[in-house]
Structure 1
């Protein structure tokens, strides 16, 4: 209280006797604000405690990152365009209605939930390949760019400088010069170094259209939350081929090598077939929303893409403002639907109590639940917070494996070896509540078998956490983990 006394007394000239009164008024008014916006209980309590203990700092932080606004102007634009977008997705759901009949019984409920709130339907006739080497993936990107005939649409959270990521940029410039329409949409914060480099001017000079998503604007934090980010990874070629997964446009040999966690380990899928048009539609929507020159969503008619394979799949996008909380519902439903086995790979593990209880309940009813996370993490606070969940999960029968072959960045959920959710989604509050994310849901035994093989390779490079040894860790570590856990709703 002495710090508050000094600040209020010095800044506003208050008599010290008024400080407790002002403090109480701040806390009461803030409490009413929390009640009015109906935040999740854990989040609300965490913010309330921060404001009680550090009122000036707490209120300042809450204004910056406490709620989920993307700005009034952008919110109105998203809502307007979402109505225009809904007409296209409704037509798509109607067109592919018959494909639902091919769904296995185990995947029908999940598919219906994923397509709710203007989502994409399940579509048959796709060919899906899984790629696990980042350098090979970057070379495939270059090859795809060199062979493109009409359009190249790229949407990433991070485009890092150096290595083979630069080679992708050079290939894109060459494609634009030969007449291919190229659009690049990158998150402002994730790709901040790229935007400060010479690449944006080089791209625009070559005819490549570049848009900065959710730009950080000093002075507008009170209108737009600064940490709402475009976290998607989408690369669409000629509206017929799409790449998606966990990998940013980075060369792992040079990306974040000073973080002490080793190379980032990623995986991507290459998709040919009609589901590619769903990713193209999502890219077009994001491009229209983030491009200030566009006021209405253009009625992009999904291309009549030939059916290249036999895989059932659907694109699954999520984000604040539109399709709000659908990701949380899908993950919760997937966990509850599991009957035999559930495997999760995620670099950042920080779910809320609802998902933790669902995982524990799954293990309790006999499902073999395995969580694979990196042993070393580039975010110390996230690592400590995730450790606070270990004891309860292991007591319930959940297996926890820590990957020591680098920073495991692959994000996947494998349910009963029959359904896979694969994409940009981390198993944390940020992906669930704050980021614009993209995933592919696959209903195919052959693909799930390939994903299981990849997961087994991760397990071969992992240490299984021993619950007996874990229970003997020093008391100071338990206290630190529990303290970090208090911040988990805010991470």
Structure 2
């Protein structure tokens, strides 16, 4: 009897093992098919195939969470529909401002056309720009703008952190709403999660401020929408005539992430008056309509043309994983390839793909003075080690690398030949280029570029240049750790 029972149990065990192997084979084969069904970089595809085959449960779970770039079937359809409705507005704007492009020097016109492609915004003349570099002063300027607003206030940020002067901005918003100013606040669900859990949403709504949570993180919906696609834009529009944009979130640097050991975050913002402000308000209106579940169609009126306030030519560049998701990459690549004399990049997170890396190296080798400024200390250990894996190739090609030691340098900028600047929320990494909803201001103006260069010089004064001879002497284990961290970059 015992022998029969043992044989039976052994048979059952073998059957279960066979079934598990069969299910394992079917699942792995299916997901490999899913991976190769989309043309993606070879390194990315092989990385995912390796993970799925080696660690099927973990690998498949990770792929479902972050392997694709969907924002969800329902939201994708909504964005696609609204984008068609948005097209008529942008087409009219391109017609209205067609003559403005002729004011750009010939070498800059191609970049403006590229940024305008696929339903983008045109270059517009007549803007006045002010570069602001002190975070606390910027927050006070926000409060002053809010106190002086007469008609509307539209705020769109990735993070609204609790505490310090950021709370004072909130109090000013409530006071503005109570005196009749129409206020709308759009914040990313993940970046502003602590804010949404606080008293502020209820206080805002009680005061008449409309609040919308962008891309809410919901357990159980990850199979329909990638959880780490984020709204990373920074837009603050006052009365439809003034816009603030740049790298800074609604945070007080004295209190924000002080436990990360990197010091205060260092940011910059630009204040714009003039016709380009309407482009940013249009982007806010589009994002608001997409993320507000009660809105089904994009019915915003064409923004009123703001009067000319200055002589600056500028252009809004918006991008995202559903629409215009390749334009941002092409603009950056084109800007690097077009540089003739100087190219300076400031970014807190550096993780280019091979195309951008080769473009930077080629620019340096053909005589362009290429400088990369990144923080010496980073709040992301994985990003910090991965970034260093590029140093050797860049230094050997002649790229200068400066590590900023005055805090976490968070300013995101690209300065080309001191004549053109790209300034905004975009990091020089795959997340900004492929995954996040981003916003930038392209400026075709030498006076603004001179001011940006002065800011860059102030960063360089607090930076240490990485020397190739010293870099080669670093401990061998650093080399392995950097390259190991680099292997994760294609998956993000």
Contact 1:267 1:410 in 2 (8 A): yes
Give matches, 1:223-238, under 5 Å. Answer: 223-238=224-239
Residue deviations 1:387-442, cap 9 Å, x none? 00000111111000000000000000000000000000000000000000000000
C-alpha distance in 2 between matches for 1:143 and 1:282: 23
- Which digits, 9 at most, give the CA deviation of each residue in 1:146-203, with x for residues without a partner? 0000000000000000000000000000000000000000000000000000000000
Report the alpha carbon displacement of residue 26 of structure 1 after superposing the two structures with TM: 3.5
Deviation at 1:281, TM superposition (A): 0.2
Note if 1:375 corresponds to 2:350: no
**2:89, 2:22 → 1: CA distance?**
56
Which residue of 2 is the match for residue 429 of structure 1?
Answer: 430
Once residues 407 and 441 of structure 1 are traced to their aligned partners in structure 2, the CA distance between those partners, rounded to angstroms, is: 24
How many angstroms apart in 2 are the aligned matches of 1:222 and 1:14?
31
What's the counterpart of residue 418 of structure 1?
Answer: 419
Residue of structure 2 equivalent to 1:6: none
> Which consecutive residues of structure 1, in runs of 5 or more, have no partner in the other structure?
1-8
| Paired residue secondary structure (1:37) | coil
Q: Does 1:312 align with 2:348?
A: no
Deviations 1:190-225 (A, max 9, x none): 000000000000000000000000001110100011
1:384 aligns with 2:385: yes
Which residue matches 1:397?
A: 398
Q: TM-score, normalized by length of structure 1?
A: 0.96
Alignment partners' CA distance in 2, 1:26 and 1:385: 31
CA distance in 2, matches of 1:199, 1:39: 42
User: Which residue of 2 is the match for residue 4 of structure 1?
Assistant: none
Q: Secondary structure at the match of 1:440?
A: strand
- Aligned-partner SS, 1:51: helix
Displacement, 1:18?
Answer: 5.8
Task: Give the structure with higher Rg (CA).
Answer: 2
* Corresponding residue SS for 2:37: helix
What is the match of residue 5 of structure 2? none
Instruction: List gaps (5 residues or longer) in structure 2.
Output: 1-9
Question: 1:205 is matched with which residue?
Answer: 206
Distance 1:152 1:102 in 2: 32
Q: Secondary structure at the match of 1:184?
A: strand
Tell me the secondary structure at the aligned position of residue 179 of structure 1: coil
Q: Which residue of 1 aligns with 2:48?
A: 47
Conserved 8 A contact 1:129-1:269: yes
Counterparts of 1:18 and 1:465, CA distance in 2: 56
1:464 aligns with: 465
More displaced 10-residue stretch of structure 1: 207-216 or 22-31: 22-31
| TM-score between both structures, scaled by the size of structure 2 | 0.96
Aligned to 2:87: 86
Q: Distance in 1 between matches of 2:252 and 2:43?
A: 38
Of 361-370 and 298-307, deviating more is 298-307
Aligned: 1:184 with 2:156: no
CA shift, 1:22, in A, is 4.7
In the TM superposition, residue 106 of structure 1 has moved relative to its aligned partner by: 1.8
Name the structure 2 match of 1:291. Answer: 292
Look up the match of 2:176: 175
Contact 1:281 1:300 in 2 (8 A): no
1:486 and 2:487 correspond = yes
Q: Does structure 2 retain, via aligned residues, the 8 Å contact 1:84–1:299?
A: no
Counterpart residue number, 2:325 = 324
What's the CA shift for 1:29? 2.5
- Residue in structure 1 matched with residue 263 of structure 2 by the alignment: 262
